[in-house]
Chain A
Amino acid sequence: VRCQQYPPLRALQASAALRGASDEHKKEPWASSSQQHFESPPAGHQPEEKPQGPHPSYTGQGGQESEDYESEEQLQHRILTAALEFVPEHGWTAEAIAEGAKTLGLSVAAAGLFHSDGSELILHFVSECNTKLSELLKKEQKLVQLGEAEKKPVDEFLRDAVEARLRMLIPYIEKWPQALSILLLPRNIPSSLTLLTNMIDDIWHYAGDQSTDFNWYTRRAVLTAIYNTTELVMMQDSSPGFEDTWRFLENRVADAMTMSNTATQVQSTGEAVVQGLMGAAVTVSNAGTSRAVR
């Protein structure tokens, strides 16, 4: 369901959302506002003045001082990172967050800082994976620039990038279907969509995509489709080392390459056809006028 909906319609809407993120556009007011909402936990430039300064009588408390010097968002970030370790056992739930908080020396009640369905934990994880992918791609690019590595052809690049990103799911693969369903909740769709499109954009950027024309949309739609379908295949894959998934990925990327070639061929054929028609039309009208003259 998800892979069918995303490529044609959502990718366009999402790219529109990204482009117009600064101005409130009519169709999706929720996209930009929730984008803001999501950014507040990790980013932390929300102007909430919390009494970070000296509390009247409690600055003396031993363990508290370390918390006073970091913002709430940073602490939430740390709790979520610690909670990831407990996901294989407890799933993407408030329980995992509670266990994570416990390892940091906080009471389990600190899980109340987040939603009780674990959405923030999943979004945090996805965002972390995307960041890791970005860094990986940047490192590779640097190697190419320094001449220490060969520049990969586009299809191989895409294949490797998607494979690297999907491999990050392997430790959590059992509970990942649960996470996907939570990401599809209406409340979470704006945030998860933004993360997805940002990641796809990133991959294309490092693949050397310079286009700003119509192809920009198709490229993103195509890669989003490849990513989503491969992810779903991976959920059901029981082959050793997920080889079935990687083979599926290879085939999809190959399909996409041939499709784009076909598209250009179709385009040039189309142009040729149009020219032929124009020529025919001119000839007919000339013949007509000449006959009329005669």
Chain B
Amino acid sequence: VYQVFENVAKKYDVMNDSMTLGIHRVWKDILVHKMNPCPGILLLDVAGGTGDIAFRFINYVRSVRQRQLQRKLKHHQNLSWQEIFESYQNDKFNNSLGDSQVVVCDINREMLKVGKQKAQHLGYSEGLSWVLGNAEELPFDDDKFDVYTIAFGIRNVTRIDLALQEAYRVLKPGGRFLCLEFSHVSNPLLSRLYDLYSFQVIPVLGEVIAGDWRSYQYLVESIRQFPPQEELKAMIEDAGFFKVDYENLNFGIVAIHSGFKL
């Protein structure tokens, strides 16, 4: 798995766009929307490599924070000068992220490097950390994070149950587990079209764009081998999560699973 992603790291984003015809951006947007984070949330993005989820999270939190500050200012129009002065001394005013933080964890150093470069390029400086780590054995303490996300990463984990247990461990009580992953299409017609596209088109794209047919062949096969929605839901429940459910996007091509540590 490591070598697959080493080859793939630099062209990862380009390949994503061409394979999914750009829809992967929408999927990731939907994931962050579902999360609905408020300022102050600590996010752990596992297998987050090039930082897509992290950047979207930061954008979302920033806009929520903006709205909060606007509301506070409107409220302030009725206060006395003394009270306004006192509130300016309050640190929270100066923080555009409201103390939110994202930790991006990936097993692959190359992916992290690309992610860091992207962050610099796009101008994301505060609230981001990049950590090298294995999803089956996370280098973090218990009860640390508010939200744990893993977007298109869990199918590459050898022991999914271990990854789920680690997710449970590092989440705070009340914390949320979110998993975005390719899943099974139940509609037979669509399923056939999807298979056709996956096996014929994607490896070819892989060869043409990234010069690597084998990795993308592996990708498509791993998608087929991944457990379907209900089975993954059962596995998440086994790890101890409550209120587990999933939302199919695009008829099951992709599914978002969500669970809470209660």
Contact = CB atoms under 8 A, between A and B. Distances in A.
Given A112-B36, A112-B258, A107 B172 contact: yes
A113 B243 contact: yes
B262 A109 contact: no
Contacts of B238: 51
Interface residues of B, number: 25
B241 to A, nearest CB: 9
Given A94-B38, A98-B38, A110 B176 contact: yes
B173 A51 contact: no
A112 B33 CA distance: 11
Interface in B201-239: 237-238
Contacts of B262: 67, 72, 75, 106, 110
Interface in A58-115: 58, 63-64, 67, 72, 75, 94-95, 98, 101, 104-113
A221 B262 CA distance: 44
| Secondary structure type dominating chain A contacts | helix
Contact of A51 (B38, B165, B240): B240
Nearest to A66: B173
Contacts of B41: 108-109
B164 to A, nearest CB: 12
B174 A94 contact: no
Contacts, number: 68
A75 B165 CA distance: 23
B176 A112 contact: yes
Nearest to A49: B237
B40 interface: yes
Residue picked from A67, A108, A116, most chain B C-beta under 10 Å: A108
A50 to B, nearest CB: 6
A58 B243 CA distance: 17
Nearest to A67: B262
B60 interface: no
Interface string A110-150: 11110010000000000000000000000000000000000
A50 B36 contact: no
A109 B175 contact: yes
B147 interface: yes
A45 interface: no
Nearest to A55: B240
Contact of B171 (A55, A107, A108): A107
A67 B174 CA distance: 10
B168 A101 contact: no
B173 A109 contact: no
B260 A110 contact: yes
A106 B38 contact: no
Contact of A107 (B35, B173, B237, B243): B173
9 contacts: A50-B242, A51-B237, A58-B168, A58-B240, A107-B173, A107-B175, A108-B38, A111-B38, A113-B243
Given A50-B242, A110-B175, 14 more contacts: A67-B262, A72-B243, A95-B38, A98-B38, A101-B174, A104-B174, A106-B173, A107-B173, A107-B176, A108-B41, A108-B146, A109-B172, A110-B260, A112-B34
Interface of B: 34-38, 40-41, 146-147, 165, 168, 171-176, 237-238, 240, 242-243, 258, 260, 262
The 3 closest A-B pairs by CB, nearest first: A106-B174, A110-B174, A107-B174
